[in-house]
Structure 1
């Protein structure tokens, strides 16, 4: 059953419980590691656990379904939805390399080589063995600062001939060059929980947009693990709807910290909360919070990073398919898609 921490919903906050619940579930579904088909609580069961109206849970489930994060099966309930590229046929030729991949990853780890560095090395070597087909990509971010860091990290999965452009989700809400850049790109990347929204805004075929999973960055995990157990911690989000995920996000890597107070970056009591705490953790987008923290108060951003596993098992195979398709088009073949060719070969 899908895990939900009922204590994360704070009814004392001036944020609707439905908004809190949607933020909690959408974040967990997008950034967590729930297997495909994990069953969520029934509407009545979850409503009873949280002490809220069943209609509120129903509306949240409908929002999650519209965002592509859950499936609602008639008469059975709600289940986590898989990514269309995340589950691949076990008969595909690439599966014959799994043991070799495990061996080289283990050897790289023993030598102190990170997964990202290993992917870069393999990509560089692969370019010496195949035609140089460059792709055009766009990454749709929420905030430009973190977005640029994400792009830099995604580059490890790209080749020197690929280009990647950064645009904000907000810029796509009006017609303009940002929308056109997305439509002209070979592939548009964004966060898993924003994939449906991006598709609707730029109006392109579904396969042209790929949502990537993100995880808390290594520095974030280290900072959280290093918090003093006695610290009074303020966890500040930029978006009100994600206020419910702040406490469990902190405690995931700092279970030893008991006193965690949550708020959002435009809350009237923000200053009061910060001055009453020994450490301040703020979500991306709430950067001004750092300026409010006294010099003696530990303060850092809760930053995410692209999941290396998603880059390796979802993005890289997709880019390979696109390169094969582009190479075929440039060589004047019949234009069979790479996916079709792979399925035909494995049949």
Structure 2
């Protein structure tokens, strides 16, 4: 590992050197048992007085990060920071921290101000206690974000809920790492197997989704004589959506269902007075003949399932998780 000191930075050399070694241990560049240069060797390498290196090593040893063996030298100790460095989710966390730093620097935030902001936020979050990490996995970004907000509102302050699409998990290693390190993943019943296979080491639960209030009201207001075309992007969603239309528009008898990619979709839509389309099948409203009423079939998580399936896990996880009360430094 290179020990580089930047003398142009407004940071004391001793603090820089200590931070470099701490970071090397935290990110896995320095592993448990690795030998560190002797005081004289490191002093010559970075161009500082041996006393500076001695003081840095003294501070690191006091923190439990390094250990001295008489006659053998100085080595990386078996600390919690060193053990965490080997975890894949911690590697992903480093990337997130780097992204945060890059973003702050791009905004012109000084390093000292960023450190103060981070420590203040860390102290605040610690004062709140442990919050269970939940990921809502869906298909479309906008819809999944609305689902996550709905779930978060019902769970309250004991949990954070991050929206994430299956496509993001497949394409983005950072997203997959975040989902894999979550305490709980929530998804659709018909996507449970797929999501579980993508995140084999994470607890995955499925909940039901019901038509949103605006969708229910629009369906209830349909003309009993209307010819309704139900259109979905995915074949496995089609029976779910059709059943919802039949439930909330029970007075309507003429209901036809098709996927947006069916060969006869144009003919189905040409014969319809109303098109009810799911997220992802918006093109149905464009293909339909002029004057055709269009209703987007939006779902919302079933509050009853959140209460029955998700809430007990959140309560248990919150009670079992240790709450760290150390002050941020």
TM-score range with shorter-chain normalisation?
0.5 to 0.7
Query: Is the Cα contact below 8 Å between 2:130 and 2:158 reproduced in 1?
Result: yes
Query: Is the Cα contact below 8 Å between 2:158 and 2:318 reproduced in 1?
Result: no
CA drift of 1:131 comes to 5.6
Identify which of 130, 154, 162 aligns with 1:165.
162
Q: How many Å separate the matches in 2 of 1:303 and 1:244?
A: 15
1:121-200 mapped onto 2 (5 Å cutoff):
132-160=129-157, 162-174=159-171, 176-200=173-197
CA drift of 1:292 comes to 2.6
Segments of 5+ residues of structure 2 without an aligned counterpart are 1-126
Matched residue count = 200
SS of 2:321's equivalent in the other structure is helix
Q: How many Å separate the matches in 2 of 1:190 and 1:285?
A: 17
Segments of 5+ residues of structure 1 without an aligned counterpart are 1-129, 333-347
What's 1:236 paired with?
Answer: 231
Deviations 1:126-154 (A, max 9, x none): xxxx9632222211101112111111111
Q: How many Å separate the matches in 1 of 2:209 and 2:160?
A: 21
Deviations 1:162-207 (A, max 9, x none): 43222111233357112101111122111233223212111214xx
1:1-347 mapped onto 2 (5 Å cutoff):
132-160=129-157, 162-174=159-171, 176-205=173-202, 208-327=203-322, 330=324
Could you say if the C-alpha distance between residues 290 and 145 of structure 1 is closer, same or farther in structure 2, counting changes exceeding 3 Å? farther
Query: Is the Cα contact below 8 Å between 2:238 and 2:257 reproduced in 1?
Result: yes
Q: How many Å separate the matches in 2 of 1:227 and 1:297?
A: 12
Could you say if the C-alpha distance between residues 220 and 189 of structure 1 is closer, same or farther in structure 2, counting changes exceeding 3 Å? same
Could you say if the C-alpha distance between residues 285 and 222 of structure 1 is closer, same or farther in structure 2, counting changes exceeding 3 Å? same
CA RMSD across the alignment: 2.4
Deviations 1:3-50 (A, max 9, x none): xxxxxxxxxxxxxxxxxxxxxxxxxxxxxxxxxxxxxxxxxxxxxxxx
Q: Normalising to structure 2: TM-score of the pair? A: 0.55
Could you say if the C-alpha distance between residues 222 and 316 of structure 1 is closer, same or farther in structure 2, counting changes exceeding 3 Å? same
Q: How many Å separate the matches in 1 of 2:139 and 2:212?
A: 17
